[in-house]
Structure 1
Amino acid sequence: MTEPAFLEVTWTDPGTGCRGYLVIDRLVRGVASGGLRMRRGCTLSEVRGLARGMTLKEGLNYDPAGRVVPLGGAKGGIDFDPYDERARDVVARYLHAMRPLIEQYWTLGEDLGLRQDVIDSVITEIGLQSSIQAIYPLLEDRETAVERLAAAFKIEVGGLGLDELVGGLGVAQATLTGLEVLGLDGPNRVVVQGFGSMGGATARFLAEAGLDVVGVSDVHGVVTNPDGLDVENLLRHRDRFGGIDRDHLKPGDGLRPPEAWLDVPAEVLVPAAVSYCVDAGNQARIGAKLVVEAANMPVTAEAEQLLGARGIRVVPDFVANSATNSWWWWTLFGDVEADADAAFAKVRSRMRELVTGMVERAARDGLGLRAAALALSEKNLEAIQARFG
């Protein structure tokens, strides 16, 4: 049985009346890590599940030989439309209200509906040092560590920031390793739902690996091409919310309505946008061999069970999308330097290890992939508890 969260906060915005939430699932050495999302319809239950997922990510990527001090899991969420012109003001009021927790307990970054630059600018305005300042007391050489992370955030590769790329690379490597160790050989077409930070980078790395990205969806609909989309062209004509400019599509590209992303023929499906988008009702439309959760909680538990009964494997979110969180701390603590090649090598190596270990554990113990990954994470969480209390 899952332990209750350490702390849950519900906030009401005095300007719009919208609700915001913060859940700290667990503290390790007094600190928890997890991003802040903004979307219409966000609930406390959703944020609670996301915070638990962050705890599992921290556990899964714990390396007792590494420099990183593991953290607990947390998550923030605001029930508001990020496209609304008042969105930034709502974020500012939320972060101001959560200031005491940010100062001492909660390290946060971007998530669905929010960009890191918005969070950073608000953090500066309200007089805080950083969105991750709660971790500063755990650093041996704070100045060097902060400079290293800042340098890493300035790195761009092919027009995209390193901080954006590492998450997508992790998902792509989880996909490639999953296909390999599960024996899912042959030509593999991919559909990516969502073309924001995670979805866009995932599509880039999968295309670079030789897979045909035949469908990409955004808030306006689905862009398809049975021969494979020009991912780099789509990335060049993408807005800050992941929307693709339809005026710059290539010959052969087609358009479908937003709900058609499940209907594009493909062997790999990567939901990289919103939670709960695959449910018991629409899972029957999926014909892929492998679903890789780039978003947080995109597949409901019932849908995952039904997919499994049809032989469709699901790589869980806290495995597939864990590289972004881990890269922040690897860089801050010095397990990797501010260097793209070093970051990419670390992400690829770690994701191969995680996915291979998960599949091997599942085969050995007769478990599903999620249950196997949970077992691996829980084992590490016990070790963290024993070491740090």
Structure 2
Amino acid sequence: MSNSIIIADQDTHFFSDVCQNFDHAAQFTKHDAGLLDQIKSCNSVYRFRFPIRKGNGFEVIDAWRVEHSQHQSPTKGGIRYSEMVNEDEVMALAALMTYKCAIVNVPFGGAKGGIKINPKNYTVTELENITRRYTVELAKKNFIGPSIDVPAPDYGSGEREMSWIADTYATMNPGQLDAMGCVTGKPIALHGIAGRREATGRGVAIAARECVSVGEDMQKIGLTPGLSGKKVIVQGLGNVGYHSAKFLSEFGALIVGICEYEGAIYNADGLDVETVFLHRKTTGSILGYPGAKKEFKNPMEGLEQPCDILVPAALENQITLANIGRIQAKIIVEGANGPTSPEAEAIFYKNGGIIIPDMYANAGGVTVSYFEWLKNLSHVAFGRMNRRFEENSNLNLVNMVEGITGVALSPVQRASIIKGASELELVNSGLEDTMIRSYHEIRETLLNNPKIGNQRTAAFVGAINKIAVSYQNLGVWP
């Protein structure tokens, strides 16, 4: 399932914005200028074109794969299918992947891919041909492999495309034991992992929950601690937006607004995410949803309605100088990559707001991709080796306690205590621990040096320091 398209009016230089943030953070570190330049620069940029048969003729497809940093191997990053893909964007997203992996302590370098197409304009057969040919081109240049570069789904791509990539790579590398580790985000039946599809959205929700749990920080912006009752607007009802809204709702937040490319809906008393999703699936639009008290044909108006938390989970550059003055949220949780322009961000901070940066907030996807990659290399599903042992050990313990105390537990109590962890539960536990630990690492960096000023810069500082240590450990830098 892909994210949803909401097109910004303002063109930006995305990679320059990322580098600008990097340079600002670098002043709070003590690393050699040459090392900082090495960390910031893209190591490899591969642009290529290939023809496909379309109808009675041919079409030439533009595509990219960027490996930003090989300080850790393999490099890791999704493949974006979009008419708006360009080299600058792919470079920026690859760089963000490098910093993102460092922030959440995932041992990958950053990479990203892009294919300049609108998937809606192609048949399934044509999409398969494009994806397989893209994979062949990567393999020819050694830009894919379980120890080299591991793609994943991104905007416009999903499990189906990842299965085509895995099959193509395995066909080109007969007998390679770890071939399925060449790509993540695969279907469960093709060595994927439970929880991967919803991982990014779950991570966004955990990030928001962790932020609002800090009473000291909430007091500064006039909010009470905890997600309960917090009003949330989510932009995008694709994979990331839908699951962000779903889990935020489960955590106690009130989803009051949802924005999509066809418009936006709002209800201060709350919207039911599942019924909105089903309404859009049935009618093709969120507009006309019976539970909405307000609707807007211009989706950007939906971002400007009253709320406590805004979750932009569509594309980059959605909150800009053009609309930041009308944003009423006190917290922005960046579910998408680069949804807030640097100029808008500065104004939001000046007004006392908190931004949970994309590099951390949407790192749930790469975290669970890491778990999938580990599963593929070990060839054992999570929980398979120890689940029954845990259940038998817990059962013996419960029987012993009941025998000593003479108090019998109810069947529900026994089941909850005895139960061993499934793969999904282990994955969700690992993801939650990663997001919680990483949030407090970022916050600690900020508290230790208040001049840093905000979480994005603190996240960059932390990432730069970790990457610098990796280069030094490799012996590349003294």
**Into which bin does the TM-score normalised by the smaller protein fall?**
0.7 to 0.9
Of stretches 200-209 and 115-124 in structure 1, the one that deviates more from structure 2 is: 115-124
Offset at 1:348? 1.8
Offset at 1:253? 5.3
Q: Among the aligned pairs, what percent are the same residue?
A: 24
Offset at 1:246? 4.5
Q: Does structure 2 conserve the Cα–Cα contact (< 8 Å) formed by 1:29 and 1:388?
A: no
Matches of 1:191 and 1:9, distance apart in 2: 38
Q: 1:372 to 1:260 in 2, by over 3 A?
A: same
Post-superposition CA distance 1:259-315 (Å, at most 9, x none) = 223222211111111112222222222111011111111112222122111212211
Q: 1:123 to 1:199 in 2, by over 3 A?
A: same
Letter in 2 for 1:23: V
Counterparts of 1:6-155 in structure 2 under 5 Å? 6-14=43-51, 15-28=58-71, 30-62=73-105, 70-85=107-122, 88=127, 89-100=129-140, 101-103=143-145, 105-124=148-167, 126-128=168-170, 136=178, 153=192, 155=194
Matches of 1:201 and 1:152, distance apart in 2: 22
Larger radius of gyration: 2
2:252 corresponding residue in structure 1: 210
Matches of 1:24 and 1:215, distance apart in 2: 37
Count of residue pairs brought into register by the alignment: 369
Offset at 1:220? 1.6
1:383 corresponding residue in structure 2: 469
Q: Does structure 1 conserve the Cα–Cα contact (< 8 Å) formed by 2:192 and 2:372?
A: no
SS in 2 for 1:16: strand
Offset at 1:122? 4.8
Which one of 217, 221, 234 corresponds to residue 263 of structure 2? 221
Matches of 1:164 and 1:148, distance apart in 2: 9
Q: 1:150 to 1:364 in 2, by over 3 A?
A: farther
Q: Does structure 2 conserve the Cα–Cα contact (< 8 Å) formed by 1:107 and 1:135?
A: no
Matches of 2:427 and 2:283, distance apart in 1: 27
Which one of 279, 300, 312 corresponds to residue 271 of structure 1? 312
Q: Does structure 2 conserve the Cα–Cα contact (< 8 Å) formed by 1:149 and 1:328?
A: no
2:295 corresponding residue in structure 1: 255
Offset at 1:99? 2.5
Query: After TM superposition, which residue ranges in structure 1, 4 or more long, deviate above 6 angstroms?
Result: 145-149
Post-superposition CA distance 1:209-241 (Å, at most 9, x none) = 1111111122222132221111122344555xx
Q: 1:50 to 1:119 in 2, by over 3 A?
A: same
Which one of 318, 323, 346 corresponds to residue 364 of structure 2? 323
Q: 1:196 to 1:147 in 2, by over 3 A?
A: closer
Offset at 1:111? 0.3
Matches of 1:82 and 1:151, distance apart in 2: 23
1:356 corresponding residue in structure 2: 440
Post-superposition CA distance 1:129-162 (Å, at most 9, x none) = 699x9994999xx9xx99997688464xxxxxx2
Offset at 1:371? 1.0
Letter in 2 for 1:305: A
The gaps in structure 1 that reach 5 residues or longer are: 63-67, 156-161
1:179 corresponding residue in structure 2: 212
Offset at 1:180? 2.2
Matches of 2:92 and 2:185, distance apart in 1: 30
2:339 corresponding residue in structure 1: 298
Matches of 2:103 and 2:63, distance apart in 1: 28
Post-superposition CA distance 1:33-80 (Å, at most 9, x none) = 000012222221111111011111221122xxxxx7x12110011222
Which one of 184, 198, 203 corresponds to residue 165 of structure 1? 198
Q: Does structure 2 conserve the Cα–Cα contact (< 8 Å) formed by 1:275 and 1:297?
A: yes
Q: 1:362 to 1:29 in 2, by over 3 A?
A: closer
Which one of 332, 335, 340 corresponds to residue 424 of structure 2? 340
Offset at 1:30? 4.4
Matches of 1:2 and 1:109, distance apart in 2: 27
Matches of 2:116 and 2:319, distance apart in 1: 21
Q: 1:21 to 1:344 in 2, by over 3 A?
A: same
Could you tell me the TM-score, scaled by structure 2's length?
Answer: 0.69
Q: Does structure 2 conserve the Cα–Cα contact (< 8 Å) formed by 1:276 and 1:298?
A: yes
Of stretches 31-40 and 341-350 in structure 1, the one that deviates more from structure 2 is: 341-350
Letter in 1 for 2:83: R
Which one of 355, 369, 383 corresponds to residue 455 of structure 2? 369
Could you tell me the TM-score, scaled by structure 1's length?
Answer: 0.84
Q: 1:210 to 1:147 in 2, by over 3 A?
A: closer
